A and B are shown apart, each in its own frame.
Chain A
Amino acid sequence: MSSLRDLVAGSDMCTPSDGAGPSNALGSLVNTLLGGAGKTQEQLRELPGAAGPSGAGPSTSFAPPPSAAELALAGGAGMQVPGLGPPRLNHAAAESFMQSLHAGPPPQFQQLGGPAAAGAAPAEWDAIFHGQDSRPMGPTALLPPQPPPMGLPGAPPPLLAPHFQAFIRSALGPSPSSASGPLPPELAAQLSVADKVRIRDRSTIMARQLYADQGDQFADAQVSHLLSSLRIDPRELPAQLSHAHHADWHEAWRAGATAAAARPHPSVAAELAAAGAAAAAGQIPAQWDAVWEQRHGPAGSLARPASTGWASEFAAQQPQQPQPAAWAAEFAAAAPASAWAEDFAAQEKQAQATAAEQADQSQAERSGGDPRATSAALAEVLGRSDNPKMRNSRFMQFVSKMSRGELTFQDNKVVESTPQAAAWAAEFGGQQQQQRPAGGSWAAEFAQQQAPVGPRQQDWVDEFARGVADLRLDEGLDAGTAEQLEAAWRAGEAATWAQEFNQMPYVVVPQGDEKQYEEWERIYGQGAFEDSFAGPSMGAAGAAAAAAPGEYVFSEHNPFLGNPDAQQKGKELFRQGILSEAALALEAEVRAHPNNAEAWRLLGTVHAENDDDRQAIAAMMRAHSADPSNPEVLLALGVSHTNELSQEQAVSHLRAWLAAQPAYRQLEAAAGQAPDSSQRLSHVIRMFEAASASAPSDPELHVALGVLHHLGRKYDNAVAAFERALQLRPGDYSLWNKLGATLANNARSGQALAAYQKALDLKPNYMRAWTNLGISYANLGDYPRSAAYYVRALGLNAGAEHVWAYLRTSLACAGHMELMGAVEGKDLG
């Protein structure tokens, strides 16, 4: 999925800001025009004038350097954060600030409501906050120097708000986002570069949140419409948020700008007509329709129709009321577009005619601006809409935007600005024309962008292998390991992997086995399992997760079916570490002999080593029902349930394990039940501690105790227990892995590495340990190496979805975007 790749492509850190403080020429303009925001004294002083490209105002970089006063204030008690290391204090900066304090506050501060207020505030605050009288402090953290508010030249220019509203609205319905027409150039010129950057970056980030399922290209196209309606050319802007800028994005802007420039400067009627025409035939609404259908149509939609509410209602209304096209056309018919004077007169008349309706609507209208004249046609259309949300939000926005637009242009001496704008538009259009051949249309480009994805996916195996080879070079991995890794990847898995991956295993409930299954269900209780399998996972976790809780999921194609030696073959393959094949062989065996407890147990062990605890539990449960007192099965179930964080099941199985040993049966029976469920774990732990005191040389007891402590998140105790077990049984690779996992969970990833390495020395094909090594390296911040280990683990079990997810993360963090796209594509397959 290319959008994801693009999303994280800008992985380098952001470039610092240009230092220009927030300019609020724009904000205050909008305030004035909307009349909604009563400006207070504070706001005025907070608002600097234009800190634009002309450099009219001083830079308003905000924070003062670390100040001496603040250091004093912090004192010794200020830094009582253990483990954080020494505070980052800059003494030079502090000293220079002290000097500036002695020199008295800069004159700008005195403008800010008087020196008394400025001086008193921090001291007072300090007293309140610290309950002590610290020494007087200068206005260290107050406001930056402020230039006087900018005078507004002449008549107020048109509003910006409608453009933003159109932009936001565009997320919710197929309204052409540039419908209000471009901002007149004289206002556009008042936007500082910093403002433009801000508009571009924020709208880009927002658009990507809103249009995630359409991809970045689409989101950026929406931003480009907004920018072109504000006459912002992103190519002239400095890069800021590195995430936000890709080369294609500028192309998208160009396409949007071309469309905008093709329109004459807006008179309202012409604009409405244009909107209507665009709705009927235009390129942007056409995209929109597609998106709309995609989102709200029955097929392939992420949204649930039940909960979309207004959206689906709106969709349902659409055919009955072809609204935008209809009313725009109507309006265009009613108000001749040719001359501004006529236009104005027509609107005046309509405004009078609809005054009554306006009064009603003004209540519904939720924005701060007062509703202005609108047309009878619009009101009628709105009156017909049953859905209050539509009426209040999207449509009312559109209407109020339009009505404000009219007034804006009346107030703004449209007669003067129109020729100017037309000239500009023509010029701009000409400019765009020249660039057009190079640029091409957005759609075509998008199609081209999409095209390479196919071949890329086909090549991804190679690419991946190359990536692994690169990692070897980069990381100085042991050459043998890496070669083995690469070979395993290429030869072993890659050929069949894709096929295998796409074949979803299905659930097989063996014939003649229902009775037993029911019995098992009765014994263990379906309800008890709901905790551990809370809800089926969607998508990523694959078919196994979608199966009923506790059900074993068989592979579909099994070459071992009917093989009488399947169990022996499975054991052999298991010994060799070829786990996927071993599982198939053992599956063949248990399908032939559903009561073969040993085969089920082996199968469960294979899955546990393959880091698939759900399957492991399912297999072990079958083994358990065939042979209820097998201690190995009970211990394995305890461990697997621990991995699945099913505390209750884990505890009860481990207790059953204790009861199944003749040596400890007495002890278990004597212990009785825990006084209440919350103490069950500690109760069983005490039981095991008593047992291990009586038989300190039984490694299994230490293992079980370690598992129990792990369950109770007493990791130090768990580590100690596993270490005791390892002294008795140093060759147990799974024990080393358990120790490693416990260390890692105890935030000792460095030590965990050694334990995992030990496990892998003992059993090189131990998939779980490879995965765990990858996790530990990722936790230590070594993402390239962790990716290499994940690849190794996936080479052993390509079906481990969660490891794919880890791999994606590590590749993203390591900056291997090109590989990530391949992984992502494969994952979706």
Chain B
Amino acid sequence: MGRCRTAFNAYSVKFSPFYEGRIAVATAQNFGIIGNGKQHVFEIAPNGALHEVAQYDTQDGLYDCAWSEANENILVSASGDGSIKVYDTALPPAANPVRGFKEHKHECCSLAWNPARRDLFLSSSWDDTARLWSLAAPTSLRTFAGHTYCVYHVAWNPREPDVFLTASGDTTVRVWDLRQPAPSLVLPAHGYEVLAADWCKYDDCMLATGSVDKSIKLWDVRMPGRERLVIPAHSYAVRRVLFSPHAPSLLLSCSYDMTVKLWDTASPQAAQGLPVRSWDHHSEFAVGLDASTLREGVVASAGWDESVWVWDQRGFPTP
């Protein structure tokens, strides 16, 4: 359905929760190792026509971005310098970023906006913590410490607005509750670093984890001792996992093996590593992934080949 070119290596893509076809893309120069970043906003028409809505430059690479669930023009970006930038696409570029939060001591790598309590969002960082923010507050509302290595990913539970998970290089996934001082659950999910995790949108106890051990595992938080399913998913580290917003058992993943795959976790084939679909349109590591909540089946991926693709998961990406 469309492809966007970016100047730098694309790290993350997110569909706007308000506008069909509008995507935010976070990018970083030199694979995010050193250099600048750019936050792009693109609009893709159903016919594939593409125009850039906004572009913001940053001093350091951007690793992730997230749309506000409260205001259709607001988005936040996670920067390699640990800061979080707030952009308002309704304002001229010179007025952006409208805010900056700098509390993380190291690279900020993941952002997640609470879909239910729309004033809250979370960030996670290589400084081993996650932080809770509100645009209405000058500082972070809370810091979630306890992981012993980089926290690569945060994700809100789709049903419980107080509950979220963090995935860390310390090999665990933790489930937190804003009402609790400590994690409600420490899930030793893999034998290796866990780079990604996501909640099932239809079962608030179900989550998926992706690890550098190349596998995806499915867990029920009520039974943390044993995974429900292991998918030998990729031939390199699994970079992102994402449950479909429209089907309880469909799961997307992308990997350093450059592929994006769609899994049916209810199918016995998943355990054998047989995806429903496998796409290899990226020529570099595929690191960003999102699925549109507004149009069923529309997915997007971002890669270090400086490209972002949007397509229908029943077909194949076309430029």
Q: Of the listed stretches B17-25, B45-53, B95-103, B308-316, name the one at the interface; the rest are far from the partner chain.
A: B95-103
Cα–Cα, bound, A462→B127 (Å): 35
A304-B8 contact in complex given A142-B100, A806-B225, C-beta closer than 8 Å: no
CB-contact partner of A198 in B80, B91, B132, B304, under 8 A: B80
Q: Shortest CB–CB separation between residue B289 and chain A, in angstroms? A: 16
Q: Which of A257-265, A307-315, A343-351, A485-493 contacts B (4 or more CB under 8 A)?
A: A307-315
- Is the CB of B172 closer than 8 A to any CB of chain A? yes
Whether a CB of chain B sits under 8 angstroms from the CB of A36 is yes
* Bound CA–CA A21/B58 (angstroms): 12
Shortest beta-carbon distance from A454 to chain B in Å? 20
B237 and A209 contacting across the interface, CB-CB below 8 Å: yes
Q: Decide yes or no whether A78 CB sits under 8 A from chain B.
A: yes
Q: Is the CB of B139 within 8 A of A780?
A: no
B68 to chain A, nearest CB (A): 9
Interface residue A779 (Cβ < 8 Å from any Cβ of B): yes
**From B71, B162, B220, contact of A128 by CB (8 A):** B71
Contact with B along A126-166 (1 / 0, CB 8 A): 00111000000000111100000000000000001100110
The answer to whether B33 and A202 touch across the interface, beta carbons within 8 angstroms, is yes
State how many angstroms separate the Cβ of B61 from the closest Cβ of chain A: 9
Q: Contact at A46–B58, with CB atoms within 8 Å? A: yes
Known: A40-B55, A125-B98, A645-B223. A747 touches B184 (CB 8 A): yes
Contacting residues, chain A, for B214 (C-beta < 8 A): 302-303
Q: Are the CB atoms of B57 and A74 closer together than 8 Å?
A: no
Number of A-B residue pairs having CB atoms within 8 Å of each other in the complex: 347
Q: Is the Cβ of A79 less than 8 Å from the Cβ of B137?
A: yes
Report whether B30 and A164 are in contact in the complex, using a CB–CB cutoff of 8 Å: yes
Asked if B232 lies at the interface with its beta carbon under 8 angstroms from chain A, I say: yes
Cβ proximity bits B11-37 to A, threshold 8 Å, 1 near / 0 not: 000000000000000000111111110
**A24→B59 CA distance, assembly (Å):** 7
**A63–B258 CB distance below 8 A:** no
Chain A residues with Cβ under 8 A from B96's Cβ?
Answer: 42, 121
B83 sits at the interface (CB 8 A): yes
Instruction: Determine which of A368, A745, A779, A802 lies in contact with B306 in the assembled complex, contact meaning CB atoms within 8 Å.
Output: A368
Q: Are A368 and B192 in contact (CB under 8 A)?
A: no
Write out, one digit per residue, whether chain B residues 53-73 have a CB within 8 A of any chain A CB (1) or not (0): 001111110000000001101
Which chain B residues (127-156) contact chain A, with CB distance < 8 Å?
127-128, 132, 134-142, 145-146, 148-150
Check: B170 CB closer than 8 A to any chain A CB: yes
Report Cα–Cα, A307/B215, bound state, in Å.
13
Known interface pairs A30-B35, A63-B102; A202-B80 also in contact (CB < 8 Å) = yes
From residue B4, how far is it (CB to closest CB) to chain A in Å?
14
In the complex, are the beta carbons of A37 and B7 less than 8 A apart? Answer: yes
Instruction: Report yes or no: A129 in contact with B71, Cβ–Cβ below 8 A.
Output: yes
From B240-248, B267-275, B290-298, give the one contacting chain A: B267-275
Q: How far is the CB of A204 from chain B (nearest CB, A)?
A: 10
Which residues does chain B contribute within 8 Å of A143, judged by CB atoms? 97, 100
Tell me which residues across on chain A come within 8 A of B60, comparing CB atoms: 22
Task: Report whether A67 and B228 are in contact in the complex, using a CB–CB cutoff of 8 Å.
Answer: no
- Distance of A36 Cα from B30 Cα, bound (Å): 12
The CA-CA distance from A368 to B7 in the complex, in Å, is 7
On whether the beta carbons of A27 and B235 are closer than 8 Å, the reply is no
Cβ of B195 within 8 Å of any chain A Cβ, yes or no, is: yes
Q: A46, A79, A643, A644: which has the most chain B beta carbons within 10 Å?
A: A46
Residue of A nearest to B136 (CB): A78
B232 neighbours in A (Cβ, 8 Å): 302, 304, 538
Which residues of B have CB within 8 Å of A46? Answer: 36, 57-59
CB of B93 closer than 8 Å to a CB of A: yes
Cβ contact of A538, chosen from B184, B224, B230, B258, cutoff 8 A:
B230
Interface contact B136-A803, CB-CB below 8 Å = no
**A-side contacts of B7, CB under 8 Å:** 36-38, 368
Contact A141 B30 (CB under 8 A): no
Q: Judge whether B218 is part of the interface by a CB distance below 8 angstroms.
A: yes
Q: How far is A172 from B69 in the complex, measured between Cα atoms in Å?
A: 38
B83 to chain A: closest residue by CB: A62
Q: Does B317 contact A (CB under 8 A)?
A: no
Which residues of chain B come closer than 8 Å to A142, judged between CB atoms? 97, 100
Cross-chain contact of B35 among A26, A78, A82 (Cβ < 8 A): A26
Rounded to whole angstroms, the CA-CA distance of A67 and B100 in the bound complex is 12
Q: How far is the CB of B216 from chain A (nearest CB, A)?
A: 11
Q: Give the docked Cα–Cα distance between A67 and B150 (Å).
A: 29
Main secondary structure of the interface of B (DSSP, over half): loop
Residues of A within 8 A of B99 (CB): 122, 141
Contact B36 A31 (CB under 8 A): yes
The 8 Å CB contact of A805, one of B188, B223, B305, is B188
Could you say which residues of chain B place their CB within 8 Å of the CB of A308?
235, 257
- C-alpha gap A94/B95 in the complex (Å): 23
Q: Is A537 part of the contact surface with B, judged by Cβ < 8 Å?
A: yes
Please tell me if the beta carbons of B95 and A84 are within 8 angstroms of each other in the complex: no
Taking a contact as CB atoms under 8 Å apart, the answer to whether B192 and A4 are in contact is yes
B277 at the A interface (CB under 8 A): no
Instruction: Give the residue among B132, B186, B280 with the most A Cβ atoms within 10 A.
Output: B186
A interface footprint on B102-133 (CB within 8 Å = 1, 0 otherwise): 11011100000000010110000011100010
C-beta contact mask, A175-210 vs B, less than 8 Å → 1, else 0? Answer: 000000000000000000001001101110110111
By the criterion CB–CB under 8 Å, are B273 and A60 in contact?
Answer: no
In the complex the two chains form, is B148's CB within 8 Å of A141's CB? no
**A822 CA to B29 CA, complexed, in Å:** 41
B256 touches A210 (CB 8 A): yes
Known contacts A42-B57, A63-B101, A393-B284; A209 and B225 CB within 8 A of each other? no
- B86 interface contact, C-beta 8 A: yes
Cβ–Cβ contact B271 & A209, under 8 A? no
Please state if B91 and A124 are interface contacts (CB–CB under 8 Å).
yes
Stretch at the interface among A9-17, A404-412, A473-481, A594-602: A9-17
Q: Which of B57, B98, B106, B138 meets A14, CB within 8 Å?
A: B106
Q: Contact between B256 and A202 (Cβ–Cβ < 8 Å)? A: no
B32, B90, B170, B225 — most chain A CB neighbours (10 Å): B225
Tell me, in angstroms, the Cα distance from A283 to B96 when the chains sit together.
Answer: 50
Please measure, in the bound complex, the distance between the C-alpha atom of A7 and the C-alpha atom of B170, giving whole angstroms.
7
Q: Are A813 and B100 in contact, with the CB atoms below 8 A? A: no
B272-288 with Cβ < 8 A to chain A? 273, 278, 280, 283-285
Q: Which residue of B lies closest to A644 (CB)?
A: B223
- Look across to chain B and name the residue whose beta carbon is closest to the beta carbon of A88: B139
Are A243 and B95 closer than 8 Å at their CB atoms? no
**Cβ B306 vs Cβ A366 within 8 A:** yes
Chain B neighbourhood of A808, CB < 8 A: 188
B138 touching A67 by the CB < 8 A rule? yes
Whether the pair B138, A779 counts as a contact (CB closer than 8 A) is no
Closest Cβ neighbor of B187 among chain A residues: A809
CB <8 Å contact, B182 and A7: no
Contact, CB under 8 Å: A4 / B191: yes
Q: Check B88 for interface membership: any CB of A closer than 8 A.
A: yes
Establish whether residues B146 and A37, one from each chain, have CB atoms under 8 Å apart when the complex forms.
no
A37: chain B residues at CB < 8 Å are 7-8, 29, 36
Chain A residues lying within 8 Å of B58, measured Cβ to Cβ, are 46
Does A107 sit at the interface, judged by CB under 8 A? no
Closest to B81 in A: A22
Name the one of A60, A243, A645 contacting B149, with C-beta atoms under 8 angstroms: A243
Interface of chain A residues 42 through 88 with chain B (CB within 8 A): 42-43, 46-48, 60-63, 66-67, 70-71, 73-75, 77-84, 87-88
Nearest 8 interchain pairs by C-beta: A802-B225, A63-B102, A121-B95, A78-B136, A43-B57, A70-B138, A27-B35, A212-B212
9 residue pairs from A and B, CB less than 8 Å apart = A62-B83, A79-B136, A208-B212, A212-B237, A302-B235, A393-B305, A747-B180, A805-B188, A813-B148
Given A94-B138, A168-B304, A304-B232, 10 additional A-B pairs, CB 8 A:
A31-B29, A37-B7, A77-B136, A90-B139, A142-B97, A307-B257, A308-B257, A366-B306, A781-B181, A809-B188
Chain B positions near chain A (C-beta within 8 angstroms):
7-8, 29-36, 55-60, 70-71, 73-74, 80-83, 86, 88, 90-103, 105-107, 117, 119-120, 126-128, 132, 134-142, 145-146, 148-150, 162, 169-172, 177-186, 188, 191-193, 195, 205, 212-215, 218, 220, 222-230, 232, 234-237, 256-259, 268, 270-271, 273, 278, 280, 283-285, 304-307
